Protein backbone atom coordinates (compact mmCIF):
# COMPACT_ATOMS: atom_id res chain seq x y z
CA UNK A 1 0.00 0.00 0.00
CA UNK A 2 2.83 2.35 0.85
CA UNK A 3 4.50 1.55 -2.48
CA UNK A 4 1.31 2.45 -4.39
CA UNK A 5 1.05 5.73 -2.51
CA UNK A 6 4.69 6.48 -3.30
CA UNK A 7 4.07 5.91 -7.01
CA UNK A 8 0.97 8.14 -6.95
CA UNK A 9 2.87 10.94 -5.21
CA UNK A 10 5.74 10.68 -7.70
CA UNK A 11 3.32 10.75 -10.63
CA UNK A 12 1.55 13.79 -9.21
CA UNK A 13 4.85 15.63 -8.90
CA UNK A 14 5.61 15.21 -12.62
CA UNK A 15 4.42 18.15 -14.73
CA UNK A 16 3.09 16.96 -18.09
CA UNK A 17 2.39 20.39 -19.59
CA UNK A 18 3.87 21.06 -23.04
CA UNK A 19 6.33 23.62 -21.71
CA UNK A 20 7.41 21.30 -18.90
CA UNK A 21 7.89 18.42 -21.33
CA UNK A 22 9.99 20.66 -23.56
CA UNK A 23 12.14 21.89 -20.68
CA UNK A 24 12.70 18.39 -19.31
CA UNK A 25 13.64 16.95 -22.71
CA UNK A 26 17.25 16.40 -23.67
CA UNK A 27 19.07 18.44 -26.32
CA UNK A 28 18.16 16.18 -29.25
CA UNK A 29 14.43 16.13 -28.49
CA UNK A 30 14.48 19.88 -27.82
CA UNK A 31 16.13 20.43 -31.21
CA UNK A 32 13.44 18.33 -32.90
CA UNK A 33 10.67 20.29 -31.18
CA UNK A 34 12.24 23.65 -32.07
CA UNK A 35 12.65 22.60 -35.73
CA UNK A 36 9.01 21.51 -35.89
CA UNK A 37 7.76 24.71 -34.25
CA UNK A 38 9.75 26.85 -36.71
CA UNK A 39 8.47 24.74 -39.61
CA UNK A 40 4.90 25.15 -38.38
CA UNK A 41 5.18 28.93 -38.06
CA UNK A 42 6.78 29.27 -41.49
CA UNK A 43 4.24 26.90 -43.05
CA UNK A 44 1.32 28.90 -41.69
CA UNK A 45 2.87 32.16 -42.90
CA UNK A 46 3.10 30.65 -46.40
CA UNK A 47 -0.45 29.30 -46.22
CA UNK A 48 -1.92 32.65 -45.20
CA UNK A 49 0.11 34.64 -47.75
CA UNK A 50 -0.78 32.26 -50.60
CA UNK A 51 -4.49 32.25 -49.76
CA UNK A 52 -4.51 36.06 -49.66
CA UNK A 53 -2.56 36.18 -52.94
CA UNK A 54 -5.01 33.78 -54.59
CA UNK A 55 -7.91 35.93 -53.48
CA UNK A 56 -6.14 38.99 -54.89
CA UNK A 57 -5.40 37.23 -58.19
CA UNK A 58 -9.03 36.20 -58.65
CA UNK A 59 -10.21 39.75 -57.96
CA UNK A 60 -7.67 41.25 -60.39
CA UNK A 61 -8.57 38.67 -63.03
CA UNK A 62 -12.23 39.63 -62.73
CA UNK A 63 -11.36 43.32 -63.09
CA UNK A 64 -9.09 42.57 -66.06
CA UNK A 65 -11.81 40.62 -67.88
CA UNK A 66 -14.29 43.47 -67.41
CA UNK A 67 -11.80 45.94 -68.91
CA UNK A 68 -10.56 43.64 -71.67
CA UNK A 69 -14.03 42.81 -72.97
CA UNK A 70 -15.23 46.41 -72.75
CA UNK A 71 -14.72 46.87 -76.51
CA UNK A 72 -11.82 49.32 -76.37
CA UNK A 73 -8.91 49.07 -78.79
CA UNK A 74 -5.82 47.12 -77.81
CA UNK A 75 -3.77 50.33 -77.61
CA UNK A 76 -6.30 51.87 -75.21
CA UNK A 77 -6.30 48.69 -73.15
CA UNK A 78 -2.52 48.79 -73.07
CA UNK A 79 -2.53 52.35 -71.72
CA UNK A 80 -5.13 51.36 -69.11
CA UNK A 81 -3.56 48.10 -67.94
CA UNK A 82 0.15 48.89 -68.21
CA UNK A 83 0.25 50.50 -64.77
CA UNK A 84 -0.85 47.29 -63.03
CA UNK A 85 2.36 45.56 -61.97
CA UNK A 86 0.66 43.04 -59.65
CA UNK A 87 -1.69 41.30 -62.08
CA UNK A 88 -0.01 38.53 -64.15
CA UNK A 89 -2.78 38.63 -66.74
CA UNK A 90 -2.27 42.33 -67.34
CA UNK A 91 1.50 41.85 -67.59
CA UNK A 92 1.07 39.05 -70.14
CA UNK A 93 -1.23 41.21 -72.25
CA UNK A 94 1.08 44.24 -72.02
CA UNK A 95 4.12 42.12 -72.91
CA UNK A 96 2.42 41.05 -76.15
CA UNK A 97 1.23 44.56 -77.05
CA UNK A 98 4.66 45.99 -76.23
CA UNK A 99 6.25 43.55 -78.67
CA UNK A 100 3.69 44.54 -81.30
CA UNK A 101 4.43 48.24 -80.74
CA UNK A 102 8.17 47.62 -81.15
CA UNK A 103 7.57 45.75 -84.41
CA UNK A 104 5.16 48.39 -85.59
CA UNK A 105 7.67 51.21 -85.08
CA UNK A 106 10.58 49.21 -86.52
CA UNK A 107 8.71 47.92 -89.59
CA UNK A 108 6.22 50.65 -90.37
CA UNK A 109 3.90 49.48 -93.13
CA UNK A 110 5.40 45.97 -93.25
CA UNK A 111 3.50 44.31 -90.40
CA UNK A 112 1.18 42.43 -92.75
CA UNK A 113 4.18 40.84 -94.46
CA UNK A 114 5.67 39.68 -91.15
CA UNK A 115 2.57 38.38 -89.38
CA UNK A 116 3.98 34.93 -88.67
CA UNK A 117 7.21 36.39 -87.30
CA UNK A 118 5.29 38.88 -85.17
CA UNK A 119 2.98 36.14 -83.93
CA UNK A 120 5.94 34.04 -82.86
CA UNK A 121 7.59 36.94 -81.02
CA UNK A 122 4.39 37.94 -79.25
CA UNK A 123 3.72 34.39 -78.15
CA UNK A 124 7.25 34.03 -76.85
CA UNK A 125 6.91 37.31 -74.93
CA UNK A 126 3.71 36.07 -73.33
CA UNK A 127 5.21 32.68 -72.47
CA UNK A 128 8.29 34.28 -70.88
CA UNK A 129 6.10 36.59 -68.81
CA UNK A 130 3.82 33.69 -67.89
CA UNK A 131 6.76 31.61 -66.69
CA UNK A 132 8.18 34.47 -64.63
CA UNK A 133 4.83 35.24 -63.01
CA UNK A 134 4.02 31.59 -62.28
CA UNK A 135 7.41 31.19 -60.63
CA UNK A 136 6.74 34.22 -58.43
CA UNK A 137 3.26 33.03 -57.48
CA UNK A 138 4.47 29.51 -56.65
CA UNK A 139 7.49 30.71 -54.66
CA UNK A 140 7.90 28.86 -51.30
CA UNK A 141 4.97 26.57 -52.10
CA UNK A 142 7.24 23.53 -52.24
CA UNK A 143 8.10 24.12 -48.58
CA UNK A 144 4.57 23.00 -47.70
CA UNK A 145 5.05 19.75 -49.60
CA UNK A 146 8.43 19.25 -47.95
CA UNK A 147 7.01 19.92 -44.49
CA UNK A 148 4.09 17.59 -45.12
CA UNK A 149 6.35 14.73 -46.11
CA UNK A 150 9.22 15.19 -43.65
CA UNK A 151 7.63 16.57 -40.45
CA UNK A 152 6.16 13.20 -39.34
CA UNK A 153 9.56 11.55 -39.73
CA UNK A 154 11.29 14.35 -37.84
CA UNK A 155 8.75 13.91 -35.07
CA UNK A 156 9.24 10.15 -35.23
CA UNK A 157 12.96 10.64 -34.76
CA UNK A 158 12.21 12.60 -31.58
CA UNK A 159 9.87 9.80 -30.52
CA UNK A 160 12.48 7.10 -30.98
CA UNK A 161 15.06 9.17 -29.14
CA UNK A 162 12.65 9.81 -26.25
CA UNK A 163 11.85 6.12 -25.92
CA UNK A 164 15.56 5.31 -25.92
CA UNK A 165 15.95 7.75 -23.03
CA UNK A 166 13.08 6.02 -21.21
CA UNK A 167 14.79 2.66 -21.51
CA UNK A 168 18.04 4.20 -20.27
CA UNK A 169 16.15 5.59 -17.25
CA UNK A 170 14.77 2.14 -16.53
CA UNK A 171 18.23 0.61 -16.77
CA UNK A 172 19.81 3.23 -14.53
CA UNK A 173 17.04 3.22 -11.90
CA UNK A 174 16.44 -0.52 -12.25
CA UNK A 175 12.81 0.33 -11.80
CA UNK A 176 9.91 -0.15 -14.20
CA UNK A 177 7.53 2.14 -12.32
CA UNK A 178 5.43 4.47 -14.47
CA UNK A 179 6.91 7.49 -12.72
CA UNK A 180 10.31 6.56 -14.15
CA UNK A 181 9.15 5.77 -17.69
CA UNK A 182 6.34 8.29 -18.15
CA UNK A 183 8.33 11.54 -18.69
CA UNK A 184 10.47 10.10 -21.48
CA UNK A 185 7.45 8.52 -23.21
CA UNK A 186 5.49 11.76 -22.88
CA UNK A 187 8.35 13.70 -24.52
CA UNK A 188 8.44 11.13 -27.30
CA UNK A 189 4.71 11.31 -27.96
CA UNK A 190 4.82 15.10 -27.82
CA UNK A 191 7.39 15.13 -30.65
CA UNK A 192 5.19 12.79 -32.72
CA UNK A 193 2.08 14.89 -32.13
CA UNK A 194 3.95 18.06 -33.06
CA UNK A 195 5.19 16.44 -36.28
CA UNK A 196 1.61 15.58 -37.26
CA UNK A 197 0.49 19.08 -36.27
CA UNK A 198 2.96 20.48 -38.81
CA UNK A 199 2.34 17.91 -41.55
CA UNK A 200 -1.46 17.73 -41.73
CA UNK A 201 -2.19 21.46 -42.36
CA UNK A 202 0.79 21.67 -44.73
CA UNK A 203 -0.43 18.77 -46.90
CA UNK A 204 -4.05 19.97 -46.95
CA UNK A 205 -3.05 23.54 -47.78
CA UNK A 206 -0.55 22.44 -50.44
CA UNK A 207 -3.18 20.35 -52.25
CA UNK A 208 -5.77 23.12 -52.04
CA UNK A 209 -3.43 25.93 -53.14
CA UNK A 210 -1.86 23.83 -55.90
CA UNK A 211 -5.30 22.97 -57.27
CA UNK A 212 -6.41 26.62 -57.26
CA UNK A 213 -3.16 27.76 -58.87
CA UNK A 214 -3.47 25.11 -61.58
CA UNK A 215 -6.92 26.43 -62.45
CA UNK A 216 -5.61 30.00 -62.47
CA UNK A 217 -2.63 29.15 -64.69
CA UNK A 218 -4.97 27.28 -67.03
CA UNK A 219 -7.10 30.42 -67.33
CA UNK A 220 -3.95 32.41 -68.20
CA UNK A 221 -2.98 29.92 -70.90
CA UNK A 222 -6.51 30.00 -72.28
CA UNK A 223 -6.39 33.80 -72.37
CA UNK A 224 -3.05 33.75 -74.20
CA UNK A 225 -4.49 31.52 -76.95
CA UNK A 226 -7.74 33.50 -77.11
CA UNK A 227 -5.99 36.86 -77.24
CA UNK A 228 -3.60 35.69 -79.98
CA UNK A 229 -6.53 34.51 -82.10
CA UNK A 230 -8.50 37.75 -81.67
CA UNK A 231 -5.49 40.01 -82.19
CA UNK A 232 -4.29 38.46 -85.44
CA UNK A 233 -7.80 38.10 -86.77
CA UNK A 234 -8.19 41.87 -86.42
CA UNK A 235 -4.71 42.48 -87.76
CA UNK A 236 -5.37 40.44 -90.91
CA UNK A 237 -8.53 42.44 -91.61
CA UNK A 238 -6.53 45.70 -91.80
In a domain, 132, yes or no: yes
pLDDT band at 89 (very low <50, low <70, confident <90, very high): very high
Whether 175 shows a pLDDT value over 70: the answer reads no
3-state helix, strand, coil in the chain (%, to 5): 85, 0, 15
User: Chain-wide mean pLDDT for the chain?
Assistant: 83
Whether 142 shows a pLDDT value over 50: the answer reads yes
Q: What is the mean pLDDT of residues 97-110?
A: 73
> Contact at 8 Å (CB) between 29 and 158?
yes
**Per-residue confidence (pLDDT) for residue 13, from 0 to 100:** 55
In a domain, 4, yes or no: no
pTM of the full structure = 0.80
In a domain, 42, yes or no: yes
DSSP sequence for 130-192: HHHHHHHHTTTHHHHHHHHHHHHHHHHHHHHHHHHHHHHHHHHHT---HHHHHHHHHHHHHHH
DSSP state of 17: S
In a domain, 41, yes or no: yes
In a domain, 13, yes or no: no
Which among 30-39, 101-110, 187-196, 228-237 has the top mean pLDDT?
30-39
Q: What is the mean pLDDT of residues 25-40?
A: 86
Q: What is the mean pLDDT of residues 162-166?
A: 79
Q: Comparing 44-53, 105-114, 202-211, which segment has the lowest mean pLDDT?
A: 105-114
In a domain, 19, yes or no: no
Rounded-to-integer distance, Cα 73 and Cα 236, Å: 15
212: domain range? Answer: 26-237
In a domain, 105, yes or no: yes
Q: Which residues contact 202 (CB under 8 A, 6 or more apart)?
A: 43, 47, 144, 145, 147, 148, 151
In a domain, 84, yes or no: yes
Rounded-to-integer distance, Cα 105 and Cα 88, Å: 26
Domain count, the chain: 1
Pick the more confident residue, 122 or 114.
122
Whether 226 shows a pLDDT value over 60: the answer reads yes
Amino acid sequence: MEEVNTINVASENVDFSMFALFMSADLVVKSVIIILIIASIYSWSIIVSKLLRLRQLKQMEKEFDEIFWSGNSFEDLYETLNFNKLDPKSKIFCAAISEWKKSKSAHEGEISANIESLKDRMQRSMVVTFNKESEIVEKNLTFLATSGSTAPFIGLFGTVWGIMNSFKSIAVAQNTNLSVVAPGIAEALFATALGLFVAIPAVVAYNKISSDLSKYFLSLETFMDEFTTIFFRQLEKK
